């Protein structure tokens, strides 16, 4: 249920963003003074960060710096959360008004970054500099525990910036057939052209089949997409019980899609599954199969798991 709510919120936000973007324009025709302040507002700010222009109002309006405009001019793209929702600056999403505790803040607190790249080393061998100039052991960076006084050692930990990231794949060490370097996961051994490589794509979906997604499945399986042998593409649907429209499941099965079970309850709690007994699993899986067979009238024994 929680997941359903979040994805709805994300959808609402996306929708809001899309409609708002079509309305993007220069703040007004005030000329340089405004451009100046937009540049100031947007200085050093990532383009995907939403912030408020003021804390007045009902907490639904935010903007972000949009650098995609023509002539490299930065504009403010505005987004308004739907009625009844407010924008959570910390989590960067719309949520129910009562869940948002930061309407009094205009922006996400900026994190202090460590000073990792300098012309001359600023710290002794084996140490790196925190944002405040303090030197600490390199190993302490990005270990999920703040060690710098300004906590900056945990603020630059992406795949590109983490000073303790794994070394780049070395093609002289990593050789076929045991090892192959593909930094972005798309390289093909022997530099073969992608269009010369057989590929298999599986389309699988899990969760409830209902009004929220039937149209999407119609779009994907629109009869225009074929396999190289001319047969139409098909998908596998791991169906959960709650909110499922079994009439739609029956229809999917009739049209040749594979139906599987996802579980009866679709519970998120990992403990429920790790500590579940044989009977729990039986009820979840075999129970779900029984229900699908009965409600979607799938009588050919094709639901295997």
Separation of alpha carbons 139 and 143, rounded Å:
8
Nearer to ligand NAG, 128 or 296 (CB): 296
User: Closest separation between CB of residue 290 and ligand NAG, Å?
Assistant: 15
234 contacts 258 by C-beta, under 8 angstroms: yes
User: Closest separation between CB of residue 295 and ligand NAG, Å?
Assistant: 10
Length of the chain: 305
**148 DSSP β-pair partners:** none
**88 DSSP β-pair partners:** 93
User: Closest separation between CB of residue 226 and ligand NAG, Å?
Assistant: 23
Nearer to ligand NAG, 69 or 256 (CB): 256
User: Closest separation between CB of residue 8 and ligand NAG, Å?
Assistant: 17
Binding residues for ligand NAG (CB under 6 A): 211, 214, 245, 247-248, 251, 297, 299
Separation of alpha carbons 155 and 151, rounded Å:
7
Nearer to ligand NAG, 87 or 205 (CB): 205
DSSP secondary structure, 71-123, as one string: GG--EEEEEEPPTTEEEETTTTEEEEGGG---TT-SSPPPPPPPB---SS--S
Separation of alpha carbons 55 and 71, rounded Å:
31
> What residues contact 174, with CB distance under 8 A and at least 6 apart?
180, 181
Nearer to ligand NAG, 204 or 297 (CB): 297
Nearer to ligand NAG, 228 or 301 (CB): 301
128-135: Cβ within 8 A, 24+ apart: 128/163, 131/155
User: Closest separation between CB of residue 243 and ligand NAG, Å?
Assistant: 10
Peptide bond into 177 cis (omega under 30): yes
Nearer to ligand NAG, 19 or 297 (CB): 297
User: Closest separation between CB of residue 70 and ligand NAG, Å?
Assistant: 44
């Amino acid at each position: 249920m929680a997941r359903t709510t979040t994805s709805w919120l994300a959808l609402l936000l996306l929708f809001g963003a899309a409609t708002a973007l079509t309305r993007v324009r220069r703040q007004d025709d005030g000329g340089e003074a405004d451009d100046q302040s937009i540049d100031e507002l947007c200085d050093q700010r990532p383009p995907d960060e939403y912030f408020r222009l003021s804390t007045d109002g009902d907490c639904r309006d935010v903007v972000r710096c949009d650098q995609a405009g023509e002539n490299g001019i930065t504009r403010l793209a505005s987004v308004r959360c739907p009625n009844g929702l407010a924008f959570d600056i910390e989590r960067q999403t719309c949520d129910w008004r009562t869940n948002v505790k930061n309407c009094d803040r205009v922006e996400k607190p900026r994190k202090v970054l460590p000073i990792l790249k300098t012309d001359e080393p600023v710290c002794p061998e084996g140490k790196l500099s925190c944002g405040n100039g303090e030197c600490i052991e390199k190993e302490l960076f990005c270990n999920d525990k703040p060690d710098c006084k300004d906590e900056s050692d945990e603020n630059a930990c992406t795949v590109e910036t983490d000073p303790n990231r794994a070394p780049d794949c070395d093609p002289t060490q990593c050789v076929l057939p045991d090892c192959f370097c593909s930094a972005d996961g798309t390289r093909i051994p022997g530099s073969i052209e992608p269009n010369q490589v057989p590929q298999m794509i599986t389309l699988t979906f899990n969760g409830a089949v209902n009004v929220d997604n039937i149209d999407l499945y119609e779009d994907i399986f629109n009869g225009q997409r074929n396999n190289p042998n001319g047969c139409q593409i098909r998908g596998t649907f791991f169906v959960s019980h709650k909110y499922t429209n079994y009439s739609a499941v029956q229809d999917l099965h009739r049209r040749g899609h594979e139906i599987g079970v996802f579980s009866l309850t679709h519970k998120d709690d990992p403990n429920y599954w790790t500590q579940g007994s044989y009977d729990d699993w039986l009820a979840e899986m075999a129970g779900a199969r029984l229900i699908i067979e009965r409600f979607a009238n799938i009588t050919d024994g094709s639901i295997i798991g």
